[in-house]
Amino acid sequence: MKKLVFLLIIFGSFAAHSQTVTGYWYGQANVEMAGIQNNYLTELIISQKGNRVKGFFGYYFKDVYQSFVVKGTYDPKTRKVVISDIPIIYFKTNSTSASVDCITSFYGTLRVSKVKTELNGYFYRDKKYTYTCPDLRVNYTLYTEAKVEDSIFKDMSSTRSFWKPQPPVPDVVNGNDAKQESEMMAVADASAQAKKTDIPPAGTASTEKKQTTASTAAATAAVENKQTNTGTNSATDNKITPAATAPPSTEQKVSTLALVQPVMQADIIKINEDFKKRKQIVSKQIVVSSDSVRLSFYDNAEVDGDSISVFLNGKLVVAHQALSERAFNVYVQLDSTREINEVSMFAENLGKYPPNTALMVISDGDKRYETFLSSDFNGNATIRLKLRRNSLAGN
């Protein structure tokens, strides 16, 4: 009898463990329409705690990859997973860079066997897309060798990247072109060797000394040559000496390479500085239930080249985003220690028709809030998000 009870306990703990949906899932989603072959390669990385799941959803479609932070629920009794508000590119789009999104909800069922563990279901379209967006059938398989820990979600963020073909292999060069190429390769080799031998960067005392020495040597040679030719005609005096036209030394070339500075870093610094100089113009306060929300930005008028940056509590979240009729999405984690979180839209330009205007849609679980923003070079349009305190225990 004791052995039977022991076996039942072991079996029960195994069954409970096997019902978790935590893991790395990969699969393919297909359009549920006759004769349609469009499909999406998709991945789902989720962590389960109790009846709640959170994680990361990503997919490849044609030449684009998109990923989103997601949250949902899991019922261990029915083994059902539900994740709402997942945007997926319209399957008939001709241009992924200017396409529209179909808002879907994932409903999946966990199936465990000795062979493999699967999560099968559908991405069901939102009701308002009934006549435009089809449902997608998806079959996920658990990648058992990958371990999912909470720490991996800290570095995850929403992304959107396009695939571009690699540049063609250059043709074989001959003659003078080959000589120039060999010289360029010599400079590159010298640069690599300089890094190995820890040559100081440009601007240090050692580098400046070497540059000064080389310049002094060239000037001295020119003077000596001129003195040697004293008494000759003026044409000889005005001739440029070989020392003056000699190519820079390898050390000078390396120093020149070291002077190149990343442009993006300086650009980001300027955005942060300009943001602090402008006024924060608060237009609305919204009470939200979730500690992470999705922000979708559209150009609310004629698309005229508006470009923005988004800040959360004074910290830059995303920069250099052009506004268009197609939304770009930003997922932000609200600071639960603050009574108010502020989302600000910084105008990088004013577009063709000032000021810089946008429609921002805030997705808070199954609730959506719309607000219009207007920014210029004097002020940042700001929305205040107040986190409902009685919802913190459930998140």
User: Each residue of 269-313: pLDDT tens digit?
Assistant: 999 999 999 999 998 999 998 888 889 898 876 788 889 999 999
3-state secondary structure the chain: CHHHHHHHHHHHHHHHHHCCCCEEEEEEEEECCCCCCCEEEEEEEEEEECCEEEEEEEEEECCEEEEEEEEEEEECCCCEEEEEEEEEECCCCCCHHHCCEEEEEEEEEEEECCCCEEEEEEEEECHHHCCCCCCEEEEEEECCCCCCCHHHHHHCCCEEEECCCCCCCCCCCCHHHHHHHHHHHHHHHHHHHHHHCCCCCCCCHHHHHHHHHHHHHHHHHHHHHHHHCCCCCHHHHCCCCHHHHCCCCHHHHHHHHHCCCCHHHHHHHHHHHHHHHCEEEEEEEEEECCCEEEEEEECCCCCCCCEEEEEECCEEEEEEEECCCCCEEEEEECCCCCCEEEEEEEECCCCCCCCEEEEEEEEECCEEEEEEEEECCCEEEEEEEEECHHHHHHC
Q: How many Å apart are CA 314 and CA 343, to the nearest integer?
A: 8
pLDDT at 122: 94
Residue 212 has pLDDT above 90, yes or no: no
Per-residue pLDDT, averaged over 186-212, amounts to 52
Q: How many Å apart are CA 219 and CA 330, to the nearest integer?
A: 59
Confidence of residue 184 (pLDDT cuts 50, 70, 90): low
Per-residue pLDDT, averaged over 223-237, amounts to 45
pLDDT at 292: 85
Per-residue pLDDT, averaged over 174-190, amounts to 53
CA distances from 368 to 83, 282, 290 (A): 16, 19, 12
Residue 377 has pLDDT above 70, yes or no: yes
Q: How many Å apart are CA 52 and CA 189, to the nearest integer?
A: 55
Strand partners, 311: 316, 344
Residue with tokens 């005609």: 233
Q: Could you tell me the pTM of the whole model? A: 0.47
pLDDT tens-digit readout, 62-111? 878 888 888 899 999 999 999 998 888 888 888 777 777 888 999 999 99
Residue 376 has pLDDT above 60, yes or no: yes
Task: Quote the distance between the C-alpha of residue 287 and its chain's center.
Answer: 28
pLDDT at 67: 83
pLDDT at 235: 41
Confidence of residue 232 (pLDDT cuts 50, 70, 90): very low
Could you give phi then psi for residue 232, rounded to 5 degrees? -80, 175
Q: How many Å apart are CA 230 and CA 232, to the nearest integer?
A: 6
Residue with tokens 């060797």: 193
pLDDT tens-digit readout, 24-38? 999 989 887 766 666
For 275, residues 6+ apart whose C-beta sits below 8 A from its C-beta are 309, 311, 314, 316, 344, 346, 380
Residue 9 has pLDDT above 60, yes or no: no
